[in-house]
Amino acid sequence: MGVDACPLGWVAVILLDGRFAGAEVANGLAELLERVPYAEVVGIDIPLGLLETGGRRAEALAAGKLGPHRSRVFPVPPRAVWEQADYDTANLHCREITGAGLSRQTWGLARKLREANQCRDLGDSPLHEVHPEVSFAAMNEGTPIAAGKKSWNGQAERRRLLRAQRIVLPEDLGAAGRVPPDDLLDAAAAAWSARRIALGTAVSLPAPPEVTSTGLPIAIWY
């Protein structure tokens, strides 16, 4: 199963034997995971695992894979930044400990980042961090997609790459069809990576993964 954050909460694309088998949308991640308890691996487009100091190697390596489109990967500051109560405090703290500020767009992920990490830390869900743009580049023989994911051309290219992997999204996705197309395509790419993890053919950035202070892996898989 591949999961991506979306305006409605979280959206998931489910694969069975590598082919589309359903889509779900839910406000909460725990609720979404409960609906698909049989998922062997869940690839999720959200940072999993935070360092106490410094930057994660996963982002640097993923940005390298995307080359001129490296801005599609955002830096993940240390844990203490995400523990702040509001953006202004988090931004100030980020500048103090990293020398760089925190964008409002990045801070906008704070609630969902905490939610996803809590789900993984509890050990109840087979969550693995993925990055759809890295996944799509891998499907494209290592070449990142030039067109943006919200553009017509960009979405057509991403759907073409998914079809080449036997992942065909139907015209009617039920409730999940209310989700923006780019989020659904990202969830499908995350599902592609999740299947590779299940098959033992996925690659991690870095390899081997870094680890958190509690021993959990920190890596982007594709």
Q: Is residue 82 part of a domain?
A: no
49 CB contacts (<8 Å, ≥6 apart)?
Answer: 56, 117, 120, 129, 210, 211, 212, 216, 217, 218, 219
Joined tokens for residue 196:
């590779």
Q: Is residue 99 part of a domain?
A: no
Q: Is residue 84 part of a domain?
A: no
Tens of pLDDT, residue by residue over 110-161, are 999 999 999 998 887 899 999 999 999 999 999 999 999 999 999 999 999 9
Mean pLDDT, rounded, for 157-178:
97
Report CA 23 to chain centroid distance, whole Å. 16
Backbone angles phi, psi at 151, to 5 degrees: -85, 160
Question: Which amino acid belongs to residue 105?
Answer: Q
DSSP 48-101: ----SSS--HHHHHHHHHHGGGGGGS-----HHHHTSSSHHHHHHHHHHHHSS-
Range of the domain at 203: 2-70+114-221
Q: Is residue 10 part of a domain?
A: yes
Residue 166 has a pLDDT of: 98
Q: Is residue 11 part of a domain?
A: yes
Q: Is residue 88 part of a domain?
A: no
Q: Strands 19-26 and 9-16, how do they pair?
A: antiparallel
Joined tokens for residue 176:
């999940």
Residue 52 has a pLDDT of: 93
Mean pLDDT, rounded, for 205-215:
95
Residue 125 has a pLDDT of: 80
> Residue ranges of the alpha helices (H) in 99-207?
104-107, 110-121, 132-139, 152-164, 181-199
Domain count, the chain: 1
Residue 122 has a pLDDT of: 86
Joined tokens for residue 171:
């015209």
Q: What is the CATH number of the domain that holds 171?
A: 3.30.420
Question: Which amino acid belongs to residue 115?
Answer: E
Q: Is residue 189 part of a domain?
A: yes
Residue 124 has a pLDDT of: 72
Mean pLDDT, rounded, for 158-166:
98
Mean pLDDT, rounded, for 191-211:
97
Rounded-to-integer distance, Cα 127 and Cα 124, Å: 9
Asked if 138 and 222 count as a contact pair (C-beta separation under 8 A), the reply is: yes
Using pLDDT thresholds of 50, 70 and 90, give the confidence band for residue 10.
Answer: very high
**Number of CB atoms found within 10 A of residue 213's CB:** 10
Using pLDDT thresholds of 50, 70 and 90, give the confidence band for residue 196.
Answer: very high
Residue 123 has a pLDDT of: 80
Say whether 142 sits in a helix, a strand or coil.
Answer: coil
Tens of pLDDT, residue by residue over 40-90, are 999 999 999 999 999 999 999 999 999 999 999 999 999 999 999 999 999
- To the question of pTM greater than 0.85 for the whole model, the response is yes
Asked if 75 and 100 count as a contact pair (C-beta separation under 8 A), the reply is: yes
Residue 53 has a pLDDT of: 92
Beta bridge mates, 44? 3, 129
Rounded-to-integer distance, Cα 79 and Cα 63, Å: 21
As a whole number, the mean pLDDT across the chain is 96
Q: Is residue 196 part of a domain?
A: yes
Percent of the chain at pLDDT exceeding 90: 96
